[in-house]
Every structure is written in structure tokens, then in C-alpha cells.
Amino acid sequence: MESFSKLSRRGFIRNSLLGAGALTLGSSLSAMANFSGQPKKKLGIALVGLGGYSKGQLAPALQQAQNCYLAGIVTGTPQKATDWAQQYNIPQKNIYNYQNFDSIANNPDIDIVYIVLPVFMHKEYTIRAAKAGKHVICEKPMALNARDCEEMIAACKKANRMLSIGYRLHFEPHTIEVMRLGQKQVFGKLTALENANGFTYRGDPNAWRLKKAMSGGGALMDMGIYAIQGARYTTGLEPIAVKATQEKTRPDFFKEVDETIFWELEFPGGLKTKGKSSYNNNWGYLKAEAEHGYFELEPAYGYGPILGKSTNGAIDFPQINQQAAQMDDFAKCVATNKPTRVPGEEGMKDMRVIDAIYRSLDSGKWEKITV
């Protein structure tokens, strides 16, 4: 069984990575990745919103990407426009603000728009980008609620544009291995799963993340979505109900949004998993137990390194640039007209869970997760 497991593992990871821009893993995997179906040219991506994630992760990742490049930017801050243009050699014609954004429709340099704005703006700019004829990557959480997600999906379908959500971990090899171990029941059926994600928030008390109207919520929206994803992609199932509780140790700071939330998800077949999110605890793990073994990741959700172990020993793969792999895969999907593994529907499923968690906090009861 062990030899079969290793062969299955090798094939599962290899196939997943080839679909995820394996070029970021180095020359050995690069050679395998150059099959037919790769884009003939790099596709242009415009980043909408030049905050910390764009500056610290996405723009540098685009310098490593094989199938796409940083073609344009959208910002409301003139100084950022100047600085980015100089740093990344972005032509003036590819620089937009929020007033002239819709004219991006006339720019053939830009194939994909990546929405990296506060959550309350995701819906508007995804729909506007689709209407402008651009394919869209929207950062997570996808929207303020599942209903908004439905409108975003419908708008992209109407415009015949592809929509993907920024779930970078679906392209990360340790995470892909956890998907295989859980979904393929390598150690038998799962008997328990617990995961958590959070950090101690010491930032600006007036930041948009702490404003409910702008963020939709606190640590659950920002951090908890990873743990919800972890339970879903490890089991390969969709939860049917949830029960949640919360605590606040800093109510004056977290006036409008949640600080720490604990929840239990019920899956078809009776499995119940535990999750938690926080702006007051440094968490980041996924731990699963099965009939004949265990597996876990810790750290599980950061930009790297991702580390893991199981009954069979270390879960050990090359550390990659997750964002480069994510964007490369979407560019390939656009170029070859293949479905993305993280479409808008994936983001909507998470928001249905989050909506139900907030309902459970209000009711104090188990809440069904709508489909």
C-alpha cells in the first residue's frame, strides 16, 4: 500500500502542479511544464489597488511569472502611479485611476484585471472589469456576502469573461498533498479535522479592515476564510451546517467587527470539523486524523514556508512563489480557454459558510449552509 501511495502522491502532485504553473518550481519541473497548451505570449495583468498585498506580493510575483506580466495599474494616488511606473517601467497609457477605469476596455495590452481592493469594492470593480471585456481575478474574500458573489459570477458569464478568486494555496504543493491525503482517503476516512488562522492585530484602529461596511467582518473574513477553505479542500466535501461562538478581549478596538470566532462544521456523512479565526492569536495550522494515520500542516496558510508531516513522515516539497503559480495558471486558463480550478463559484461557497457563521452567532444555534 505504501508504494501505491507514493506513486499516487507523485502523480497527483505532478498533475496538479503542471496545471498550476510548475515553472516556478525550478528547471526540473519547468521542462515538464512546456507541453502544448501553454500561452503563446505573456498576458498582461493590471493590478487594481496598490496596497500592501499588491506591493509586497503580487507585483514581485509577476516578475517571476512565465505566462503573464505586470502590464498596468489602477490607483487613486498620483504618487503611487509615478513610483510604480518608474519601478516597473509601466507606460503612461496603462495607468488608470478610479474615474477613468472603464476606459481600460480600449487597451489591448491588458487581458486580465486583478482586483486588490477593500472587500466592499470587489463586486463593483469585478462587474466593471467584465463589462470592459477583461478577465478577472478577485482577491478573497470574494465579496461582502454570497448574494454579491452571485451577481459577480452572473456579470462575468454575461460578458463571457473568466472569473477566478485569489486562492493561491490551491497551487501550493504541500497543500495539494493535503488535498490528496484527505480526498483520496490515503489513511482511511477522516475522523477529525481542526484548523485555525489568525494573527495579533496591532495596526491602525481606523483601518478599513475594522469597518464592517468596508470589510464585511473582522478576522473571520480576513483569516478564517483560509480555515474554511482548509476544511473544504481537505475533505473534498461541502459543509451542510455550522455552529459558532465568539469572544472579544479588546471590544474597544474591535467595535464593529469580530475578534475571535470558533466554529464547528458538519459535513455529509456525519464528520464534524473544528475551526477558529482571530485578530488576537497567532494561529496557522491544519491537523487531520484518519482511521489509519494523521497529517498536518503548520505553518499552513502563509506565503511560505509551508511545512507538514504525516504518519509516513515529512510532507516535503519545494517552496514556491504561490502568487506566481496562481497567476500563471489563470493566464494559461484564459489563453487556452480552460476552466480555472478556483472560479467565482469557489469564492461563493466560502461566503455561504461565512454568512451562516454570522447567522449562528446571532441565533446561538446550528445554521444550515444554503446551496
For the chain, which ranges sit under pLDDT 50?
1-7, 19-36
Question: Can 93 be counted among the known catalytic residues?
Answer: no
List strands edge to edge, sheet with 135-138. 95-96, 68-74, 43-48, 112-115, 135-138, 163-165
306 vs 5, 178, 328, CA distance in Å? 21, 12, 20
Enumerate residues 6+ apart whose C-beta is below 8 A from 60.
none
Identify the pLDDT of residue 12. Answer: 55
pLDDT at 31: 27
For the chain, domains (ranges, CATH) are 19-168 (3.40.50.720), 173-319+342-368 (3.30.360.10)
pLDDT of residue 63: 98
- pLDDT, residue 294, reads 98
* Alpha-carbon span 280 to 219, nearest angstrom: 9
**Virtual torsion, Cα 56, 58, 61, 66, nearest 10 deg:** -170
DSSP string, 30-81: HHHH--TTS-SSPEEEEEE--SHHIIIIIHHHHHH-SSEEEEEEE-S-HHHH
State pLDDT tens for residues 316-344. 999 999 999 999 999 999 999 999 999 99
The helix/strand count (H/E) of the chain reads as 13, 15
Buried b / exposed e over 73-112, threshold 16 CB at 10 Å, is bbbeeeebbeebeeebebeeebbbebeebeebeebeebbb
pLDDT of residue 2: 38
> Residue 245: beta bridge partners?
262
pLDDT of residue 371: 79
Active-site option among 226, 233, 279, 358:
226
Q: Are strands 260-266 and 272-278 parallel, antiparallel or unpaired?
A: antiparallel
Cα Dmax for the chain: 61
Closest CA to 331 of 24, 123, 57, 56: 24
Here the cell at position 337 is 480557454
Q: What is the pLDDT of residue 13?
A: 56
- Strand locations in the chain, DSSP E? 43-48, 68-74, 95-96, 112-115, 135-138, 163-165, 190-200, 241-247, 260-266, 272-278, 280-290, 293-297, 308-310, 313-315, 367-368
Give the pLDDT of residue 14.
53
Q: Give the pLDDT confidence score for residue 20 in this predicted structure.
A: 43
Contact 68, 328 (CB under 8 A): yes
Q: Which of 96, 125, 134, 140 does the annotation list as catalytic?
A: 140
CA-based nearest residue to 263, from 301, 296, 225? 225
CB 190 within 8 A of CB 295: no
226 is catalytic: yes
pLDDT for res 33: 36
Q: Determine the pLDDT at residue 84.
A: 98
Residues 320/326/331/332 CA torsion (nearest 10 deg): 70
